[in-house]
Structure 1
Amino acid sequence: MQLYTEKEETKERKETKVYKDVSDPIVDSMIIRIQSGDSSLFPDLLERSEALLRKSTYRRFIKGYERDDLYQEACLILVESVEKYELDRGMSFNQYVCLNLDNHFNRLIRKSNALKRKSYKEALSLESVLEENGYQLAGPSKTIQPEDKPIVNETMEEYINYLSSFEKEVCLCCFLGYSFEKIAVDLECTKEKVMNAKHRCTEKYRKHFM
């Protein structure tokens, strides 16, 4: 008879833990066709992946992000995963997406925690100014504090210069609270194109101002 210490038994249970298989052969076949150029399958992929994306945001609480914001972040990761997924990695597409989602949200959490330790000036971002002071790209609200105006205006003016014409339109619509679906209809393009533009806007802000 083999004897185990409590520590060894705990380690063995962790090593033998069985995780739920989230693989979906239909999704895998969709990815192959999308990567081959059939972008018309994107709406079907988003619909079939909705439950997985919603679950990834369940019980996640990140300062500055509402539930819909987290879902939109998850959608962006799905789009990125489609571009980067390689079938020969030995995992299904859904497994790959789950890994990317966990990594992305963990980065957001670490960044959120890091911001708490920074000074007000260092931590200030365009999005937080808009949310906390009621400033919209269409114009300042009556509630914005006078001492914040120079920072907001200077940051916005410089940031806008880094965006393309299409990115400016998407950025404006996002800050006005429009959904990706509405923006796509208004700009007469696909939802995926809007999501990619929003992602580029976010990355440009992080690159130049964070």
Structure 2
Amino acid sequence: MSKNFSAYSTQSDSSLATLCRRGDDSAFDELVRRYLGKIGFMARRYSVQGYEHNDFIQEGLLGLLSACKSYDDSSTVSFKSYMSVVVERRFISIIRRMNTKKTVPDSALVQIDGLSEQLEDNAQTPEELIMDKEQLASVQLRLKSLLSDLEYQTLMLYASGLSYRAIASRLGKSESSVDNALQRVRRKARGLY
């Protein structure tokens, strides 16, 4: 780390991004310290065959660096929000690249769990982690009661990273039935929030 680590811990994200853009590695280290948990949380929501969780975290850190270099200090958008969008788009790009040989519509890349709004920040204490798990369990229970068996099974298989084709094969349904089920899930899940 750096000679002035404590000085960096009091800096705003925006000023750290500016320092990072000027080549200050310690400023980037401080941003990594602040956002590694959030990047890890964001990475958990994505899954694609051939990529492990740590691969997504590394891509997320590259996204953080990219956000530092491209953030506009005069913007009304906070650095945290800007960085989240940059990292999220990087994850989506990975999934698109990995699925180029598959026929997965762009709508499949949209998050359907709705938890990103509810659990925006990663839990940093054990108490917060337990509360987040309880919220997730509560949402899953509500979804299970709200959705048909086919919709719930389709959602769980999709959330585990399977393609439409693999889900259709596993459930003995057509890909269009899988797509329709996920569209209904999205519509019903919006009503929860």
TM normalised by structure 1 equals: 0.40
